Amino acid sequence: MSTADDAPKSNFLRQIIDADLESGRHSQVVTRFPPEPNGYLHIGHAKSICLNFGLARDFGGVCHLRMDDTNPETEEAEYIAGIERDVRWLGFEWGDKLFHASDFFEEMYAFAEHLVRAGEAYVDHLDADAISDYRGTLREAGRPSPYRERSVDENLDLLRRMRAGEFADGTCVLRAKGDLASPNMKMRDPLLYRIRKASHPRTGDTWCIYPMYDYAHPLEDALEGVTHSICTLEFENNREIYDWVLEHTPAPARPRQYEFARLNITYTVLSKRKLLQLVGEGHVAGWDDPRMPTLAGMRRRGYTPEAIRTFCEAVGVTKTNSRVDMERLEGCLRDDLNHRAPRLMAVLDPIEIELVNRPEGEVTPLEAASFPDDVGKPGSRTVPLGRRVFIERSDFSEAPPKGWRRLSPGGAVRLRYGPIVRCEAVVKDADGVITGLRCVVDDDARANGTLHWVPAEAAVRAEVRLYDRLFSVEKPDQDPAGRDPLTFLNPTSLVVVKDARLEPAAALVTPATHVQFERNGYYVTDCVDSRADALVFNRAVTLRDSWARKVETTDEEAAAPVAKKADTRPQKKTRAQVREEARARDAELAARLTRYRDVLGLDESDADVLTGDRATGDLFEAALAAYADVPSVTRWVVNEVLAAAKDAPVDSLPLTGEALGALARMVDENVLSNSAAKEVFAELVERGGDPAEITKRRGLRQVSDADAIETIIAEVLAAHPDEVARYREGNQGLLGFFMGQVMRRSGGKANPGLTRRLLQKALAG
RNA sequence: UGGGGCGUGGGCUAGCGGUAAGCCACGGGAUUUUGGUUCCCGCUGACGUAGGUUCGAAUCCUACCGCCCCAGCCA
């Protein structure tokens, strides 16, 4: 437990890498983060960056940064610079491992000629609409293009002329000869190259044909020596082409693609398209608008790389689509900033207090620590207390609710770092609006609470930008009624306070330094607009506010829960249907179904499972020939054999029916316990052989000797006194624990029924 | 509709045939010159559903249900 804190969370990718390293498939891990330079990186990319660079770091490997620049029409040098800056800011270094897809254009082209020569690719002159039409639909197979059977020579000539620029954009493409009937649409003759007479940010006008993602990506990985190519879930269908390309070209390595679920967060959107729309239509001030989930926006808002990394670590890596609470992200920021942001006082909406018993003109310098004691960091500043101070309008109430710990008529509060003041009078204008308070300094009064404040005369003025979540609903991109996310833009995502009053020390804040305005939130000076003589602060996140939460309670919940959409999707072909179709084709299988059910007396579902293919039934019958106990053999085949075979055909296992029958007999005759039988079975599945021999060699004969078992039980009980006590106090669930211990100690050989009885007896006494 | 994936408390995750665990949120309490922080306690019960195998199933088998992705010359 002591070291588990800093150990990275287990996830399926780490398990895969562990296995690859152990089996010797790879001796070093190479990952990559491959953004397309057509936009800015956002928090979703951060998850991928932390994953890829983190994996490389933790397994002693390397992670490449790669610009996936295969489409010159959308990509720009500006974005490339932004991406490098953002990855570096997040805290990751790629050393000399910076690559561009365009570095490999020459090799990719050579591989394309290779495919053409091998008859695996052809130049298609169908236009885009026709290709789409010929591709078929989800339920209908595609049709071959009329150009599909061109000769190798013709294809080679055409491909070279494509490269030479003889054809205009869109006249033809290079396609792989896939499988037009494939249920995976991606395999229906995928496009490899298209003509784009556009200038590329790096290769300029050298090329006029550019490789498609599905062709380029596996080759980039292989050429760079990437071992684990990690992408998001929507590319699962593309994995088949990924593998196809690597198998049909002389690629120098064999990387594997793995997919994980992309990040989603409440109250924001994380798709490049929607982000681009927000910027393009002017709903935000740009890619670095502090409300944007872009790294540039978050940085400007006041997020720290540490907070973002902690967050990415905390959300985990899985294949389950999910959405993380924005609260979680904010919490990570607060945790980080609490320890690094020096405190300052700022009043956003002031009321002036006149301290009537302080002499006019007298100023008392008060020392204020930069951090509270529990943070334990040094530093302080001076706040000058005069006769007049500002406090927050919301910190005064003429009719305070129950539990009010702020100022009210006749009440007293402490001014933070200063004296206790008592309110003696409220000053109002003709409209009844409070314009000021008259208080007395009275250190003997009982303070209701502590208020932040700012000296009126010495206050510094600043603009303060209060940022809030960009959208007002949790899932702006998943409206049940299908409305555009923009419908849910939060109208108060930015509130500007033009002339907030800050304590004098605020003038000394250096750019990019995070501060906490006490009792309010964490802020940073705006890196674009803030100047020494015209300060601008951005609110990164508020402080937690349990008082506000208590007061709210009512609303929020009132928002009507939207009816869940009753979108019933058609189901896919089930395994049952596959088996039924097999029987329709094969009369022998159909006959078996009837025989198993009517003659052998199997129930419908078992008979069905055994007759979906010949191999399963063959094994079943061979086992029966060796041991004629139908229920027993059925159980073994249905539950164990099918599990061991996974989706592979049963006859791909070295296990014979004869051996299986013999094994079933041994269990029934109490020679083997069930768990020992599973060990034997595991070996049979692995290597085949004779169960009797395996049992003998591994000493797995069942122990039904009560004395021997009782000895083991006594040992187990002695070794776990706490569990015994808990069991006797009523935690009966622990019986499973004890059973497990005894079974383990006996090497799985103890007779379970007997063991259970003996165990219960021993535990009772 | 063919195919590929995914279902563990309110949210996110761990688990890999043997006591269902952690974080966040939530509720209480203590400390506090930030209604902050920190620390305790609680969240008596979450493995999509139904069958089956097993002494024992979140884990293995079967069926069903729900959700996501794919028919760009985007990535």
pLDDT digits (tens, 9 = 90+) for A459-470: 999 999 999 999
Question: Do residues A102 and A135 make contact, with C-beta atoms less than 8 angstroms apart?
Answer: no
Per the annotation, the verdict on A57 as an active-site residue is no
pLDDT at A557 over 70: no
Catalytically annotated residue among A36, A75, A240, A518: A36
Structure tokens at A346: 């700022």
Q: Is the CB of A436 under 7 A from strand B?
A: no
Catalytically annotated residue among A14, A160, A262, A475: A262
pLDDT, residue A672, reads: 84
Domains, in order of start, for chain A: 105-213 (3.90.800.10), 575-698 (no CATH), 706-764 (1.10.10.410)
How many angstroms separate the CA atoms of A269 and A209, rounded? 34
Q: How far is CA A78 from the centre of its chain?
A: 28
In the three-class reduction of DSSP (H, G, I as helix; E, B as strand; rest coil), residue A7 is classed as coil
How many angstroms separate the CA atoms of A145 and A131, rounded? 8
Provide the terminal-to-terminal Cα distance of chain A, rounded to the nearest Å: 34
- Give the percent of chain A with pLDDT over 90: 72
In the three-class reduction of DSSP (H, G, I as helix; E, B as strand; rest coil), residue A339 is classed as helix
Structure tokens at A113: 């000629």
For the CA atoms of A211, A217, A221, A224, what is the dihedral angle to 10 degrees?
Answer: 30
CA proximity to A212, closest of A138, A287, A130, A131? A131
Catalytically annotated residue among A177, A186, A196, A272: A272
Residues 51-80 of chain A with CB under 7 A from strand B are 68, 70-71, 73-74
pLDDT, residue A556, reads: 35
Q: Is the CB of A688 under 7 A from strand B?
A: no
pLDDT, residue A647, reads: 66
Q: Is the CB of A434 under 7 A from strand B?
A: no
pLDDT digits (tens, 9 = 90+) for A161-196: 999 999 999 999 999 999 999 999 999 999 999 999
DSSP state of A13: H
Under the banding of pLDDT at 50, 70 and 90, the label for residue A558 is very low
What pTM was computed for the model? 0.88
Structure tokens at A26: 């790879």
Mean pLDDT, chain A, as a whole number?
A: 91
pLDDT at A578 over 50: yes
* Per-residue 3-state assignment (H helix, E strand, C coil) for A684-720: HHHHCCCHHHHHHHHCCCCECCHHHHHHHHHHHHHHC
How many angstroms separate the CA atoms of A464 and A523, rounded? 9
Residues 202-231 of chain A with CB under 7 A from strand B are 210, 212-214
Q: What angle do CA A102, A105, A110 make, to 5 degrees?
A: 170
Q: Is the CB of A156 under 7 A from strand B?
A: no
- Distance measured from the CA of protein residue A676 to the C1' of nucleotide B47, in angstroms: 28
Residues 263-302 of chain A with CB under 7 A from strand B are none
Q: Is the CB of A245 under 7 A from strand B?
A: no
CA proximity to A506, closest of A540, A534, A466? A534
Q: What angle do CA A185, A191, A196 make, to 5 degrees?
A: 140
pLDDT, residue A6, reads: 56
pLDDT digits (tens, 9 = 90+) for A710-755: 999 999 888 888 788 877 877 777 888 888 888 888 878 888 888 8
- Distance measured from the CA of protein residue A755 to the C1' of nucleotide B13, in angstroms: 36
Q: Is the CB of A315 under 7 A from strand B?
A: yes
pLDDT, residue A560, reads: 30
Q: Is the CB of A10 under 7 A from strand B?
A: yes
- Distance measured from the CA of protein residue A544 to the C1' of nucleotide B28, in angstroms: 18
Neighbours of A369 (CB within 10 A): 15
pLDDT at A1 over 80: no
pLDDT digits (tens, 9 = 90+) for A371-406: 999 999 999 999 999 999 999 999 999 999 989 999
Q: How far is CA A670 from the centre of its chain?
A: 49
ipTM over 0.90: yes
The secondary structure element, H or E, covering residue A636 is none
